[in-house]
Structure 1
Amino acid sequence: MTDSITWQDVTARRLARHRLDRPAPPGELPGVVGAMCGAHAQVMSAAELSVGLRTLGTTRTDVRDALWEDRTLVKAFGPRGTVHLLPTTELPLWTGALAAVPTPSSSMPQRARMDAAQTDAVVAAVADAVRDVEPPTIDELSEAVIARLGDWAADLVVPGFTGMWPRWRQALHTAGHRGAMCFGPNKGRKVTYTSPDRWLPGFRPAPAEEALAEVVRHYLHAYGPATSQQFAQWLSAPRRWAAELFTSLGDELRPVDVEGSPAWQLAADAGVEQPYVEHELRLMPYFDAYVVGSHPREQVFPGPAGERALSSGQAGTVQVMTIGGTAAGIWHQKRSGRKVELRVEAFTALDKRRLDELETQAQRVGEILEAKPVLTLGAVEAGKHL
């Protein structure tokens, strides 16, 4: 028998599990980040906002302390090969799973590609280069890897942001997914890389089969009900492989009908109801986990939100204002010293209650970023973050 629930039920469940309905108490950063399936951290201030909005009283300093001092969070390559903050205790899970996700054929010219043996050699060289040393920058890591592997690794064949990168760089994400390295503290404005052992002594990736099944459970707990195709998009994995992975969980998953749309949920979630209330307005940062992982897009980004806040179906390239978990506007921020200017464009008229909520949310953004917020309403013309 297929369960039936409404989109309102789905939204209420997701908001609760993302702690967007009621922020978590202070000190629960790892649990909150784990419930999100990681916080996107390509833009570090966005990760700080994502975590801060879900926890009471958290500032960017608290997030940085959890990452670099307490080491309860770790910065690593996560889903889709993008930089994420993850709970340190879950690093074996994520590396075990992500290393097992099939990768598409390289789009590089044949002469520039690496074979499996070369990729394995790069991963081993990276692991050796970051072990028991001061965390190197990318240039320092490159020198160390090339010194270990020889001239073939140095061939400038990989297109980069400012020219061509050496051949070995195309396996950098693979090294991260296999647990050969994670990110270390910045040196000035330059990122560094280090060994996961510094965060989790004795670190080893979890067995692939167990890890993949657990990632499906994590995903459906945070974003379900969902289809295997939506999971594939979230993980940047082949659709057929994702469908087979869902099937492998057997009775742990149950079919559910969401107002005519078939999907899957965890069997443990069948019959679970989360009361939907008039949730407050939220200012979601770039690539926030909730907006990136939630489907279908037409439900989360209705009407003009789909046109203004999505890029070919991709969410996160524009910061969105949500009301009750649905995109209802876009916003932009510009920092200047101790001030942060917030400009919000609403897609619907905001009554006094919503305007008060917007002011409260702007103040909270300022607290998290440790800056004085200056809020204005009007058209947002800033480009998308690619």
Structure 2
Amino acid sequence: MASSRLPLTDEERRRRIGVRHHLAPAARAGTVEQVAASLTALHGTDPATVHLAAGARLADPAGPVAAMERALYEDRTLIRMHGMRHTVFVVPAALAPVVQSSTTHAVAARERALFVKQLKAGSALDEAWLADVEKSTLDALARRGEATAAELAQDEPRLRERFTYAPGTGYEQRQTVSTRVLRLLGTEARVVRGRPLGSWTSSQFRWAIAPDLPDLPPAEARATLTRAWLASHGPATEADLKWWTGWKVTDVRQALRDVDAVPVALDDGTTGHVLPDDTAPTDPPAPWAALLPALDPTPMGWRDRDWYLPPAHRALLFDRSGNIGPTVWWNGRVIGGWAQRPGGEPVWRLLDPDPGREALTAIETEAARLHTWLAPTRVTPRFRTPLERELSA
């Protein structure tokens, strides 16, 4: 029996990347807020990624760092928070309560239970002690406005207390409670990361009291997040959505039903899903190239990646934990990787056969565009991959 699913080809999916992810020149965004909204969320585990991801997609990339810092720390139109898969993301402010209610509340509950268990196992500390330290820490942070963990420990010395992490295992070590307390308060949306210490590439942040987020029904929030994600990443499979969110498969299926997702037939024989009004073909953009950073939200947007990333490239482009490094794109496919030389100049290697003069010219243009605003800053990805290490040496 013939399938009743509408076919949606890999070529259409690659066109959508160029247009919806602001990678084709004519589709580039005007603001960092537009970039984040169009991608649903920007990976923030590596602080440099959000700036590099925005710079690759802005029509005028002259000042992506200043624009991103304004959005994050002054206007608060973007929020850096724990989200899907217990990973740090930068999300539009309007989406922050959706991410919190759909995903991060559950993460926070698991985090608190684990932390209390570890406190009790390795010390005399307990829930009552933790609650009192949290209240005192929040009071100190409210007085200061913004502070580092070390500054808060001056006001609340109990943040210097130590506990045994993973007692009796090969990972056992003594840790101060400050990092875990602040991370827990962050997952519970009671504090938020402020400006970094040092430059925009730093992974050390100040903390501030978080803005109040409305508490949404979890199923409603999951549907809202699914709708936003399918608009940016559809078509996608159940497995893609489960991987990206970290939800249970039952929650994934219910969310797809709640948004009336339409099943489509993908080229590999699997079933993808799109929003009901999103079955029309995309006009082909002009040929485009892109140099995307490590952990960029485009290559990290799906679990199944063969339609844009040849399996033969993975050993060079991923670390051992599955984190992707900097990538070179041509018309919706990953064809190589890039890094910075010690002086800051981008250098790349193509892993596909010669893609032709048009592609090479476009890649050179993008590398020069990146170098113009990035220099003289040297960015070392937090998760190093084999090709990035080799090229940056």
* TM-score band, normalised by shorter chain: 0.7 to 0.9
Residues 279-327 of structure 1 show CA distances to partners (whole Å, capped at 9, x for unaligned) of: 31111101000000135222221142233223468342x1111111211
Query: How far apart, CA to CA, are the structure 2 residues paired with 1:254 and 1:118?
Result: 49
User: What amino acid is the match of 2:340?
Assistant: Q
Are the aligned partners of 1:254 and 1:264 in contact in 2 as well (CA < 8 Å)? yes
Partner of 2:56: 53
Say if 2:288 is the partner of 1:280: yes
Query: How far apart, CA to CA, are the structure 1 residues paired with 2:128 and 2:225?
Result: 28
Residue 93 of structure 1: how far off its partner (Å): 2.3
Partner of 2:337: 330
Say if 2:121 is the partner of 1:112: no
Matches within 5 A, 1:256-271: 256-259=264-267, 260-269=269-278, 271=279
Q: Secondary structure at the match of 1:89?
A: helix
Aligned to 1:194, which of 175, 191, 208? 208
Matches within 5 A, 1:63-102: 63-101=68-106
Task: Summarize the Cα distance change of 1:296–1:372 in structure 2 as closer, same or farther, 3 Å threshold.
Answer: same
Residue 235 of structure 1: how far off its partner (Å): 2.0
Query: How far apart, CA to CA, are the structure 2 residues paired with 1:273 and 1:305?
Result: 29
Q: Secondary structure at the match of 1:55?
A: coil
Query: How far apart, CA to CA, are the structure 2 residues paired with 1:167 and 1:18?
Result: 40
Residue 224 of structure 1: how far off its partner (Å): 1.4
Residue 50 of structure 1: how far off its partner (Å): 0.3
Query: How far apart, CA to CA, are the structure 2 residues paired with 1:384 and 1:315?
Result: 17
Task: Summarize the Cα distance change of 1:129–1:268 in structure 2 as closer, same or farther, 3 Å threshold.
Answer: farther
Query: How far apart, CA to CA, are the structure 1 residues paired with 2:134 and 2:11?
Result: 45
Query: How far apart, CA to CA, are the structure 2 residues paired with 1:319 and 1:6?
Result: 26
Task: Summarize the Cα distance change of 1:203–1:105 in structure 2 as closer, same or farther, 3 Å threshold.
Answer: closer
Residues 69-98 of structure 1 show CA distances to partners (whole Å, capped at 9, x for unaligned) of: 333223222322223222233322222222
Task: Summarize the Cα distance change of 1:147–1:11 in structure 2 as closer, same or farther, 3 Å threshold.
Answer: same
Are the aligned partners of 2:44 and 2:88 in contact in 1 as well (CA < 8 Å)? yes
Query: How far apart, CA to CA, are the structure 2 residues paired with 1:27 and 1:282?
Result: 17
Task: Summarize the Cα distance change of 1:204–1:2 in structure 2 as closer, same or farther, 3 Å threshold.
Answer: same
Compare 229-238 and 288-297 and name the one that shifted more.
Answer: 229-238
Say if 2:348 is the partner of 1:344: yes
Matches within 5 A, 1:300-339: 300-311=308-319, 314-316=322-324, 318-334=325-341, 336=343
Task: Summarize the Cα distance change of 1:25–1:102 in structure 2 as closer, same or farther, 3 Å threshold.
Answer: closer
Aligned to 2:165, which of 157, 161, 176? 157
Query: How far apart, CA to CA, are the structure 1 residues paired with 2:166 and 2:182?
Result: 12
Q: Secondary structure at the match of 2:236?
A: coil
Query: How far apart, CA to CA, are the structure 1 residues paired with 2:119 and 2:237?
Result: 34
Q: Secondary structure at the match of 1:332?
A: strand
Residue 274 of structure 1: how far off its partner (Å): 0.6
Query: How far apart, CA to CA, are the structure 2 residues paired with 1:246 and 1:118?
Result: 41
RMSD: 3.7
Task: Summarize the Cα distance change of 1:357–1:211 in structure 2 as closer, same or farther, 3 Å threshold.
Answer: same
Task: Summarize the Cα distance change of 1:162–1:42 in structure 2 as closer, same or farther, 3 Å threshold.
Answer: farther
Partner of 1:376: none
Compare 40-49 and 135-144 and name the one that shifted more.
Answer: 135-144
Residue 370 of structure 1: how far off its partner (Å): 4.5
Task: Summarize the Cα distance change of 1:208–1:133 in structure 2 as closer, same or farther, 3 Å threshold.
Answer: farther
TM-score using structure 2 length: 0.79
Partner of 2:24: 21
Task: Summarize the Cα distance change of 1:105–1:194 in structure 2 as closer, same or farther, 3 Å threshold.
Answer: closer
Residue 178 of structure 1: how far off its partner (Å): 2.6
Query: How far apart, CA to CA, are the structure 1 residues paired with 2:127 and 2:52?
Result: 41
Partner of 2:383: none
Task: Summarize the Cα distance change of 1:158–1:127 in structure 2 as closer, same or farther, 3 Å threshold.
Answer: farther
User: What amino acid is the match of 2:39?
Assistant: M
Aligned to 2:145, which of 128, 134, 142? 134
Residue 193 of structure 1: how far off its partner (Å): 1.0
Task: Summarize the Cα distance change of 1:141–1:4 in structure 2 as closer, same or farther, 3 Å threshold.
Answer: farther
Query: How far apart, CA to CA, are the structure 1 residues paired with 2:82 and 2:242?
Result: 17
Residue 105 of structure 1: how far off its partner (Å): 6.8
Task: Summarize the Cα distance change of 1:57–1:371 in structure 2 as closer, same or farther, 3 Å threshold.
Answer: farther
Structure 2 unmatched runs, 5+: 379-385
Instruction: Say which structure is richer in strand.
Output: 1
User: What amino acid is the match of 2:35?
Assistant: V
Are the aligned partners of 2:165 and 2:173 in contact in 1 as well (CA < 8 Å)? no
Say if 2:243 is the partner of 1:233: yes
Task: Summarize the Cα distance change of 1:196–1:179 in structure 2 as closer, same or farther, 3 Å threshold.
Answer: same
Query: How far apart, CA to CA, are the structure 1 residues paired with 2:207 and 2:372?
Result: 30
In the alignment of these two chains, the number of paired residues is: 365
TM-score using structure 1 length: 0.80
Are the aligned partners of 1:96 and 1:178 in contact in 2 as well (CA < 8 Å)? no
Query: How far apart, CA to CA, are the structure 2 residues paired with 1:172 and 1:6?
Result: 45
Task: Summarize the Cα distance change of 1:112–1:356 in structure 2 as closer, same or farther, 3 Å threshold.
Answer: same
Structure 1 unmatched runs, 5+: 374-378
Query: How far apart, CA to CA, are the structure 1 residues paired with 2:77 and 2:108?
Result: 29
